[in-house]
Chains A and B, each alone.
Chain A
């Protein structure tokens, strides 16, 4: 064990029950920012206590201010931001008023951070060893033992061949491996507090489960406290001891992590849980949460509860004054003035059963036989890369098909081949029973009947064109009447649930969810029969994700459109798709009805994917020991 290098102040090297020691305590923390001459309260009245060895989860959608606490702790607030009142005690010392020198002493030694993007958090021109040894020397490891200690740390995070990792650069490792390196570095000083800011978000599901497990093991071994920032409530339930839900800079509810999911009391927490698709249990229609979170600029104008604008139970009294956190029991606090009366009402609400997108008929709109793709390496020394092994594929009207797999599994390649963005190595396509050739007429038919929706709406939409033009972009290349186009703009905007005003705006003036609506609406312009969607809901907040998923199902009912959904999120696929393809290393390892595949998976890889998703039952043991059987997650060559 590397315990000899522990800081003298760290008494919790052995994990044993002892007197509760409070490591971090925040009281009435207010963070102000000056924006356009106005003072906006970015974080309002944040209070919590974090005991030594425990994990506090900060959950919220983008813009909730969940990363701000980490920035306060690290003193890296954006310009113009300032903690105006409240206190923050770190191990009995005043963290806010400590000198910069003292604070920097703590960083890396007693307070460590695990970043969101592990690949970019490592300097690309320095080897892992150079960066790690810099850290080791800073935390006071003698030069003579440095290498040995580094190798020990890297093997602790289960990295294979740690000696060789030291000589590698970050771009030679996979994301999961980089994150392990970051975790090894964070825990090397046996810190008292580790802040993990969306540390698993950028990773594949099974890698995420492994990293979470690793984080927990390390924490238990070293008795470290962790602040776990995430947007994923299910994940937080399993990782944390206590969870605080943030909305627009305010802590709306906080409770024991195991209890929060099922006993949520705040209307926002409840709405969030009801908008999250689940991987087991009955399929019910997801409740969407309309509107969007107010931006920081508008905080100054909100006098009452910040959630009031979107709350179903909002009353005039809600907007009058800032509600206080009411403690229901020792741990459970809720910031809502109507908490008592709401309790009965919500329990009576029943859930509507939900149906996934099944085929309307047996006819195949699009079918591909013997479709495959090989990327030639261009020289004889390296092997050609098989992106897609020969497969047959077909889609029927109104059928929603989910294609799942980890990055590099070939799921995006399949989508691009079907769309015709890439030339297949072999394979024939049939569109409505007619063979698709390479002539212009065939391409025209293909383009009008199959459309692709790209992942990132922000970069997929030309920021210099107005929404109306973007929606009807397909009309650019053919003669049309202005009036006709105008009419179509409004039709499409209406189809995807955008207001009339949105047509005259630029994409940058829209919210993320609205942009994704434009992105979807654009593909509908020529009434396609098949939509290919590459991870279109994965970057969205839970409440917006539910809106978009319901929109897709609505479009199916109205336009009989079929959807090929490429996704890594099994719950999303379960909610939308009637059929599922599981892909691994360019091969379809399992396919069938979504319901039966997820309930009774046959292939070990499918089982592994399912096991990697945090289960709905908060008491369930997760993550289980996932055997790292294949070398695919430990690829050394980078991408």
Chain B
């Protein structure tokens, strides 16, 4: 259809359109920066308000007062909180998140090493969750007015009440322990080594032509990503179904039917785009749910991502690592929200036309 009829802004000229798109992107990034700084500040203050003293935790029981003072100064804990935060912020902008208390290595490299695992997990979890959710929504909708619709909706309702860690246990028990179809511990099989290029196991094995590694790393990803997917798929299914039902009550669907437009085309061209608006918004909201979920999921499945790193850091009160990972989580949530905002912007002209 669009082949005949060019896109609406074509007459506006290419340059102004491009400029407005760049400005839009810049605005999306800019207003999120202060938010990230605020999140960091809150985490920073909370970490220092908790009555745990990392210095005494680090030093042997017989340390002298001098030792304590030296270490406190070394860690920068002798300055006031605001000063400490400003210093941290300055370093953070340069990519320096300090030194881990646990092993003395740079926090930035620890996070960078663990991050690909988590991103990989999130990526597959998100894609599978959205696909599964939309598919369930569409199937439910296609059975509207029948008993099948009610059955699917009730099952979906029950599934919505199951938390992520319970899904993990259910999946492990069924597919890992019971049927023994899929591995459920670690990132890749025990005897397989994958050359390190990007840090993404699947990508690296693909690049090096390591098919065995690819198969194994993918197999190890299935259960954890399915766990995350199930958590977000159920609300997405519910939303996709109810927005479609709502859209089909609208006059413009009725009007298209009266013009004799085929039902398939009504669904694809008229209904889906309108119904996708609330669904995409929901995906943005679910971002924080799924990212928070990696914390437990990675620990349960033994994946060395930033989630398990975070748990380890919390055990030993490794302030710098906790701080850095909290920021990483915040950035990830914001990035996903930004993407959904931009997608909504493209889908909904009413947002675009707003002055």
Q: Using a CB–CB distance below 8 Å, which chain A residues touch chain B?
A: 74, 76, 79, 104-109, 112-113, 115, 117, 120-127, 129-130, 133-135, 137-138, 143, 146-147, 164, 166-167, 169, 171-172, 182, 185, 382
Contact = CB atoms under 8 A, between A and B. Distances in A.
B5 A129 contact: yes
A122 B250 CA distance: 10
Given A104-B260, A108-B261, A125-B348, A146 B4 contact: yes
B350 A124 contact: yes
Given A115-B251, A164-B11, A166-B5, 6 more contacts: A79-B145, A120-B250, A123-B256, A124-B350, A126-B273, A143-B3
Nearest to A186: B259
Contacts of B355: 382
Given A106-B260, A108-B261, A126-B270, A133 B255 contact: no
A129 to B, nearest CB: 5
Contact of B349 (A105, A112, A125): A125
State the majority secondary structure of interface residues on B: helix
Contacts of A129: 5, 8
Contacts of A185: 259
B8 A127 contact: yes
A182 B251 CA distance: 12
Contacts of A146: 4-5
Interface string B306-319: 00000000000000
Most buried by A among B251, B260, B262: B260
Contacts of A147: 4-5
B353 A169 contact: yes
Most buried by A among B250, B257, B273, B348: B257
14 contacts: A107-B258, A107-B259, A117-B251, A120-B252, A121-B255, A122-B252, A123-B270, A124-B350, A134-B1, A138-B259, A147-B5, A166-B5, A167-B9, A169-B350
Given A120-B251, A124-B350, A167-B11, A130 B259 contact: no
Contacts of B349: 124-125, 127, 169
B254 interface: yes
Interface residues of B, number: 33
Contacts of A130: 1-2, 5, 8
B347 interface: yes
B274 interface: yes
Contact of B254 (A115, A125, A137, A171): A115
B269 interface: yes
Interface in B17-74: none
A416 to B, nearest CB: 25
Nearest to B262: A104
A169 B254 CA distance: 18
Given A125-B347, A169-B353, A171-B350, A138 B260 contact: yes
B252 A123 contact: yes
A483 B4 CA distance: 73
B252 to A, nearest CB: 4
A76 B257 contact: yes
A105 B260 contact: yes
Contacts of B252: 120-124
B351 to A, nearest CB: 10
B254 A76 contact: yes
A125 B273 contact: yes
B261 A134 contact: yes
B8 A137 contact: no
Contacts of B257: 74, 76, 107
Interface in B160-198: none
A185 B260 CA distance: 12
A214 B353 CA distance: 30
A172 B349 CA distance: 10
Interface in B238-263: 250-252, 254-262
Nearest to B258: A113
Most buried by B among A109, A134, A147, A182: A134
Nearest to A103: B260
- Give the top 4 A-B pairs by smallest Cβ distance, nearest first: A107-B260, A108-B260, A108-B259, A120-B251
Contacts of B251: 115, 117, 120-121
Contact of B274 (A105, A112, A123, A172): A123
B343 to A, nearest CB: 13
A109 B259 CA distance: 8
Most buried by A among B2, B3, B4, B353: B4
A121 B258 CA distance: 11
Contacts of B353: 169, 171-172
A211 to B, nearest CB: 16
Nearest to A143: B4
Nearest to B253: A123
Contacts of A108: 258-261
Contacts of B8: 127, 129-130, 167, 169
A79 B146 CA distance: 13
A125 B7 CA distance: 12
Given A113-B258, A169-B353, A124 B5 contact: no
Interface in B78-101: none
Contacts of A117: 251
A171 B252 CA distance: 13
Interface string B261-305: 110010001100110010000000000000000000000000000
A108 B8 CA distance: 25
Contacts of A121: 251-252, 254-255
A174 to B, nearest CB: 15
A74 B258 contact: yes
